[in-house]
Structure 1
Amino acid sequence: MLWVKAIHVIAVVCWFAMLFYLPRLFVYHTMSDNQAIKDQFKVMERKLYRGIGTPSLWLTIIFGLWSVHYAWEYYVSSTWFWIKMALVLTLVVYHHICGYYLRQLSNDQCTKSHVFFRWFNEFPTIILLASVFLVVLKQPL
Protein backbone atom coordinates (compact mmCIF):
# COMPACT_ATOMS: atom_id res chain seq x y z
CA MET A 1 0.00 0.00 0.00
CA LEU A 2 2.80 2.47 0.76
CA TRP A 3 4.23 2.11 -2.75
CA VAL A 4 0.81 3.10 -4.13
CA LYS A 5 0.85 6.27 -2.00
CA ALA A 6 4.44 6.97 -3.03
CA ILE A 7 3.57 6.78 -6.74
CA HIS A 8 0.53 8.98 -6.10
CA VAL A 9 2.69 11.66 -4.43
CA ILE A 10 5.30 11.49 -7.23
CA ALA A 11 2.56 11.87 -9.85
CA VAL A 12 1.07 14.85 -7.97
CA VAL A 13 4.48 16.55 -7.88
CA CYS A 14 4.98 15.99 -11.62
CA TRP A 15 1.46 17.19 -12.42
CA PHE A 16 1.94 20.35 -10.36
CA ALA A 17 5.26 20.98 -12.09
CA MET A 18 3.31 21.19 -15.34
CA LEU A 19 0.47 23.22 -13.78
CA PHE A 20 2.98 25.76 -12.50
CA TYR A 21 5.27 25.93 -15.54
CA LEU A 22 2.92 25.72 -18.54
CA PRO A 23 1.07 28.99 -17.80
CA ARG A 24 4.47 30.63 -17.20
CA LEU A 25 5.44 29.52 -20.72
CA PHE A 26 2.17 31.08 -21.91
CA VAL A 27 3.32 34.38 -20.35
CA TYR A 28 6.59 34.34 -22.29
CA HIS A 29 4.88 33.08 -25.44
CA THR A 30 2.38 35.95 -25.47
CA MET A 31 5.13 38.50 -24.74
CA SER A 32 7.20 37.47 -27.75
CA ASP A 33 7.02 39.20 -31.14
CA ASN A 34 9.48 36.79 -32.77
CA GLN A 35 7.79 33.97 -34.71
CA ALA A 36 10.76 31.61 -34.36
CA ILE A 37 10.64 32.00 -30.57
CA LYS A 38 6.86 31.52 -30.57
CA ASP A 39 7.32 28.31 -32.59
CA GLN A 40 9.83 27.09 -29.99
CA PHE A 41 7.35 27.84 -27.20
CA LYS A 42 4.71 25.84 -29.08
CA VAL A 43 6.98 22.78 -29.04
CA MET A 44 7.86 23.22 -25.37
CA GLU A 45 4.24 23.76 -24.34
CA ARG A 46 2.99 20.73 -26.30
CA LYS A 47 5.67 18.41 -24.89
CA LEU A 48 5.09 19.64 -21.34
CA TYR A 49 1.31 19.24 -21.56
CA ARG A 50 1.19 15.92 -23.41
CA GLY A 51 4.42 14.32 -22.25
CA ILE A 52 4.42 15.23 -18.56
CA GLY A 53 1.17 16.89 -17.54
CA THR A 54 -1.49 14.59 -18.94
CA PRO A 55 0.23 11.30 -17.98
CA SER A 56 0.84 12.73 -14.49
CA LEU A 57 -2.81 13.74 -14.23
CA TRP A 58 -3.91 10.17 -14.99
CA LEU A 59 -1.35 8.60 -12.64
CA THR A 60 -2.46 11.00 -9.89
CA ILE A 61 -6.07 9.95 -10.32
CA ILE A 62 -5.39 6.22 -10.67
CA PHE A 63 -3.02 5.90 -7.72
CA GLY A 64 -5.06 8.33 -5.61
CA LEU A 65 -8.20 6.22 -6.07
CA TRP A 66 -6.18 3.07 -5.48
CA SER A 67 -4.96 4.53 -2.17
CA VAL A 68 -8.47 5.56 -1.17
CA HIS A 69 -9.96 2.14 -1.79
CA TYR A 70 -7.88 0.67 1.06
CA ALA A 71 -9.91 2.70 3.60
CA TRP A 72 -13.01 3.67 1.64
CA GLU A 73 -15.30 3.78 4.68
CA TYR A 74 -13.06 6.32 6.37
CA TYR A 75 -12.71 8.55 3.31
CA VAL A 76 -16.34 8.46 2.23
CA SER A 77 -17.40 9.73 5.66
CA SER A 78 -14.76 12.51 5.88
CA THR A 79 -15.78 16.02 4.92
CA TRP A 80 -12.16 17.08 4.31
CA PHE A 81 -11.84 14.30 1.73
CA TRP A 82 -14.83 15.50 -0.31
CA ILE A 83 -13.55 19.07 -0.20
CA LYS A 84 -10.20 17.80 -1.43
CA MET A 85 -11.92 15.88 -4.21
CA ALA A 86 -13.70 19.08 -5.27
CA LEU A 87 -10.30 20.81 -5.38
CA VAL A 88 -8.84 17.96 -7.45
CA LEU A 89 -11.78 18.18 -9.86
CA THR A 90 -11.15 21.93 -10.10
CA LEU A 91 -7.51 21.21 -11.01
CA VAL A 92 -8.61 18.72 -13.67
CA VAL A 93 -10.78 21.46 -15.19
CA TYR A 94 -7.84 23.91 -14.94
CA HIS A 95 -5.63 21.31 -16.67
CA HIS A 96 -8.09 21.15 -19.58
CA ILE A 97 -8.36 24.93 -19.72
CA CYS A 98 -4.56 24.96 -20.08
CA GLY A 99 -5.01 22.54 -23.00
CA TYR A 100 -7.55 24.92 -24.53
CA TYR A 101 -5.10 27.83 -24.31
CA LEU A 102 -2.32 25.62 -25.63
CA ARG A 103 -4.39 24.86 -28.74
CA GLN A 104 -5.21 28.55 -29.19
CA LEU A 105 -1.56 29.52 -28.89
CA SER A 106 -0.43 26.75 -31.23
CA ASN A 107 -2.86 28.09 -33.87
CA ASP A 108 -1.86 31.72 -33.22
CA GLN A 109 -5.45 32.48 -32.19
CA CYS A 110 -5.05 33.34 -28.50
CA THR A 111 -6.21 36.83 -27.60
CA LYS A 112 -5.19 36.66 -23.93
CA SER A 113 -2.35 38.89 -22.77
CA HIS A 114 0.73 38.04 -20.75
CA VAL A 115 -0.91 39.88 -17.84
CA PHE A 116 -3.88 37.48 -17.97
CA PHE A 117 -1.55 34.49 -17.94
CA ARG A 118 0.44 35.92 -15.02
CA TRP A 119 -2.76 35.89 -12.95
CA PHE A 120 -3.93 32.58 -14.44
CA ASN A 121 -0.60 31.08 -13.32
CA GLU A 122 -1.37 31.75 -9.65
CA PHE A 123 -4.52 29.62 -9.45
CA PRO A 124 -2.89 26.19 -8.90
CA THR A 125 -0.87 27.63 -6.01
CA ILE A 126 -4.08 28.46 -4.15
CA ILE A 127 -5.47 24.97 -4.79
CA LEU A 128 -2.19 23.38 -3.67
CA LEU A 129 -2.16 25.32 -0.41
CA ALA A 130 -5.77 24.42 0.35
CA SER A 131 -5.20 20.74 -0.51
CA VAL A 132 -2.08 20.37 1.60
CA PHE A 133 -3.70 22.02 4.61
CA LEU A 134 -6.77 19.78 4.23
CA VAL A 135 -4.65 16.63 4.16
CA VAL A 136 -2.26 17.61 6.95
CA LEU A 137 -4.85 19.10 9.29
CA LYS A 138 -7.52 16.44 8.82
CA GLN A 139 -6.90 15.21 12.38
CA PRO A 140 -5.91 17.16 15.48
CA LEU A 141 -2.31 16.64 16.59
Structure 2
Amino acid sequence: MTDLLAIAYPWVKSLHIISVISWMAALFYLPRLLVHHTEQVGQTGQTHDLFKMMEYKLATVIMRPAMIGTWIFGLALVLTPGIVDWAAVWPWTKGASVFAMTGFHGWLVGRVRAFAAGENSLSGKRYRIMNEVPTLLMIIIVFSVVVKF
Protein backbone atom coordinates (compact mmCIF):
# COMPACT_ATOMS: atom_id res chain seq x y z
CA MET A 1 0.00 0.00 0.00
CA THR A 2 2.78 2.42 0.90
CA ASP A 3 4.51 1.75 -2.45
CA LEU A 4 1.30 2.65 -4.26
CA LEU A 5 1.00 5.89 -2.26
CA ALA A 6 4.61 6.79 -3.09
CA ILE A 7 4.04 6.16 -6.80
CA ALA A 8 0.76 8.11 -6.79
CA TYR A 9 2.19 10.96 -4.70
CA PRO A 10 2.30 13.68 -7.41
CA TRP A 11 -1.23 12.81 -8.54
CA VAL A 12 -2.62 12.72 -5.02
CA LYS A 13 -0.88 16.01 -4.17
CA SER A 14 -2.34 17.61 -7.32
CA LEU A 15 -5.84 16.39 -6.50
CA HIS A 16 -5.42 17.62 -2.93
CA ILE A 17 -4.46 21.11 -4.14
CA ILE A 18 -7.40 21.20 -6.58
CA SER A 19 -9.79 20.13 -3.80
CA VAL A 20 -8.38 22.71 -1.39
CA ILE A 21 -8.74 25.53 -3.94
CA SER A 22 -12.36 24.55 -4.60
CA TRP A 23 -13.16 24.24 -0.91
CA MET A 24 -11.55 27.57 -0.07
CA ALA A 25 -13.38 29.34 -2.90
CA ALA A 26 -16.70 28.13 -1.49
CA LEU A 27 -15.71 28.98 2.09
CA PHE A 28 -14.86 32.53 0.97
CA TYR A 29 -17.99 33.00 -1.15
CA LEU A 30 -20.74 31.53 1.02
CA PRO A 31 -20.39 34.03 3.89
CA ARG A 32 -20.57 36.86 1.32
CA LEU A 33 -23.82 35.41 0.00
CA LEU A 34 -25.11 35.30 3.55
CA VAL A 35 -24.15 38.97 4.08
CA HIS A 36 -26.12 40.02 1.02
CA HIS A 37 -28.99 37.70 1.88
CA THR A 38 -29.19 39.30 5.32
CA GLU A 39 -28.74 42.91 4.32
CA GLN A 40 -30.41 43.13 0.91
CA VAL A 41 -32.92 40.30 0.58
CA GLY A 42 -34.58 39.44 3.87
CA GLN A 43 -36.49 36.25 4.69
CA THR A 44 -39.29 36.25 2.12
CA GLY A 45 -39.93 36.63 -1.59
CA GLN A 46 -38.50 35.43 -4.90
CA THR A 47 -35.03 36.82 -4.27
CA HIS A 48 -34.96 35.07 -0.89
CA ASP A 49 -35.85 31.81 -2.66
CA LEU A 50 -33.11 32.43 -5.24
CA PHE A 51 -30.51 33.07 -2.53
CA LYS A 52 -31.61 29.96 -0.62
CA MET A 53 -31.12 27.88 -3.77
CA MET A 54 -27.70 29.44 -4.50
CA GLU A 55 -26.52 28.94 -0.91
CA TYR A 56 -27.78 25.36 -0.81
CA LYS A 57 -26.12 24.42 -4.10
CA LEU A 58 -22.85 26.08 -3.17
CA ALA A 59 -22.83 24.22 0.16
CA THR A 60 -23.84 20.81 -1.21
CA VAL A 61 -22.66 20.65 -4.84
CA ILE A 62 -19.32 22.47 -4.49
CA MET A 63 -18.30 22.90 -0.87
CA ARG A 64 -19.12 19.42 0.49
CA PRO A 65 -17.44 17.40 -2.30
CA ALA A 66 -14.42 19.73 -2.21
CA MET A 67 -14.08 19.23 1.55
CA ILE A 68 -14.40 15.46 1.18
CA GLY A 69 -11.76 15.46 -1.57
CA THR A 70 -9.47 17.64 0.54
CA TRP A 71 -9.74 15.21 3.44
CA ILE A 72 -9.34 12.04 1.35
CA PHE A 73 -6.33 13.27 -0.62
CA GLY A 74 -4.85 14.95 2.45
CA LEU A 75 -5.07 11.72 4.45
CA ALA A 76 -3.48 9.84 1.56
CA LEU A 77 -0.59 12.33 1.65
CA VAL A 78 -0.25 11.90 5.42
CA LEU A 79 -0.07 8.13 4.95
CA THR A 80 2.62 8.41 2.26
CA PRO A 81 5.96 7.41 3.83
CA GLY A 82 8.49 10.18 4.32
CA ILE A 83 6.09 13.08 3.75
CA VAL A 84 5.28 14.10 7.33
CA ASP A 85 7.79 14.58 10.13
CA TRP A 86 5.58 13.95 13.15
CA ALA A 87 8.28 15.24 15.51
CA ALA A 88 7.91 18.72 13.99
CA VAL A 89 5.28 21.26 15.01
CA TRP A 90 3.91 22.03 11.52
CA PRO A 91 1.79 18.88 10.98
CA TRP A 92 0.03 19.55 14.25
CA THR A 93 -0.69 23.22 13.51
CA LYS A 94 -1.87 22.30 10.04
CA GLY A 95 -4.04 19.47 11.38
CA ALA A 96 -5.62 21.67 14.06
CA SER A 97 -6.32 24.34 11.45
CA VAL A 98 -7.90 21.83 9.06
CA PHE A 99 -10.15 20.61 11.86
CA ALA A 100 -11.07 24.24 12.61
CA MET A 101 -11.77 24.81 8.89
CA THR A 102 -14.02 21.76 8.90
CA GLY A 103 -15.83 23.16 11.94
CA PHE A 104 -16.30 26.47 10.12
CA HIS A 105 -17.68 24.53 7.15
CA GLY A 106 -20.21 22.90 9.50
CA TRP A 107 -21.15 26.29 10.96
CA LEU A 108 -21.82 27.63 7.45
CA VAL A 109 -24.00 24.64 6.60
CA GLY A 110 -25.96 25.34 9.78
CA ARG A 111 -26.43 28.95 8.68
CA VAL A 112 -27.67 27.82 5.25
CA ARG A 113 -30.20 25.58 6.99
CA ALA A 114 -31.27 28.46 9.23
CA PHE A 115 -31.90 30.68 6.20
CA ALA A 116 -33.81 27.87 4.49
CA ALA A 117 -36.03 27.59 7.57
CA GLY A 118 -36.46 31.39 7.72
CA GLU A 119 -34.63 31.53 11.03
CA ASN A 120 -31.54 33.67 10.40
CA SER A 121 -30.69 35.58 13.55
CA LEU A 122 -27.25 36.95 12.65
CA SER A 123 -26.38 40.35 11.23
CA GLY A 124 -24.52 41.11 8.04
CA LYS A 125 -21.70 42.45 10.21
CA ARG A 126 -21.40 39.09 11.97
CA TYR A 127 -21.15 37.30 8.62
CA ARG A 128 -18.49 39.80 7.50
CA ILE A 129 -16.46 39.05 10.61
CA MET A 130 -16.89 35.30 10.17
CA ASN A 131 -15.78 35.66 6.56
CA GLU A 132 -12.26 36.29 7.90
CA VAL A 133 -12.05 32.89 9.64
CA PRO A 134 -11.08 30.86 6.54
CA THR A 135 -8.48 33.48 5.60
CA LEU A 136 -6.77 33.26 8.98
CA LEU A 137 -6.86 29.46 8.94
CA MET A 138 -5.53 29.38 5.37
CA ILE A 139 -2.57 31.55 6.40
CA ILE A 140 -1.73 29.19 9.27
CA ILE A 141 -2.06 26.14 7.02
CA VAL A 142 0.09 27.52 4.20
CA PHE A 143 2.86 28.74 6.52
CA SER A 144 2.75 25.43 8.40
CA VAL A 145 3.27 23.41 5.23
CA VAL A 146 5.65 25.70 3.33
CA VAL A 147 7.76 27.18 6.12
CA LYS A 148 7.38 24.07 8.31
CA PHE A 149 7.65 26.05 11.56
| Correspondent of 1:19 among 21, 27, 33 | 27
Give the deviation of 1:113 after TM superposition. Answer: 0.9
Per-residue CA deviation, residues 39-61 of structure 1 (Å, 9 max, x unaligned), is 10100000000000001101000
Match of 1:90 among 68, 86, 100: 100
1:46 to 32, 56, 64: 56
> Of 110, 115, 123, which residue of structure 2 is paired with 1:100?
110
- Cα separation, partners in 2 of 1:40 and 1:5, compared to 1, 3 Å: same
Matched, 1:127 2:137: yes
Q: Which consecutive segments of 4 or more residues in structure 1 shift more than 6 A?
A: none
Q: Residue 38 of structure 2 contacts residue 123 of structure 2 at CA under 8 Å; is this kept in 1?
A: yes
1:11-40 CA deviation, whole Å, 9 max, x = no partner?
Answer: 000000110000100001111246211110
Gaps spanning 5+ residues in structure 2: where?
Answer: 1-8
SS of 1:75's equivalent? Answer: coil
Which whole-Å deviations, capped at 9, do the CAs of 1:89-135 have from their partners, x for residues lacking one?
Answer: 00000000001101001111011011111111111001111111111
Quick one: which amino acid aligns to residue 43 of structure 1? M
Unaligned runs of 5+ in 1: none
Is the Cα–Cα contact under 8 Å of residues 27 and 115 in structure 1 kept in the other structure?
A: yes
Which residue of the other structure, out of 78, 100, 105, is the alignment partner of 1:68? 78
1:8 alignment partner in structure 2 = 16
Letter in 1 for 2:53: V
| Distance in structure 1 (CA, Å) of the matches to 2:11 and 2:109 | 30
CA 38–3 in structure 1, closer or farther in 2 if over 3 Å, else same: same
User: TM-score, normalized by length of structure 1?
Assistant: 0.93
Q: CA RMSD in A?
A: 1.4
- State the alpha-carbon separation in 1 of the partners of residues 146 and 82 from structure 2: 18
Letter in 1 for 2:34: F
Q: Distance in 2 between matches of 1:12 and 1:69?
A: 18
Matched-pair contact (CA < 8 Å) for 1:4–1:63: yes
Cα distance in 1, alignment partners of residues 144 and 90 from structure 2 = 6
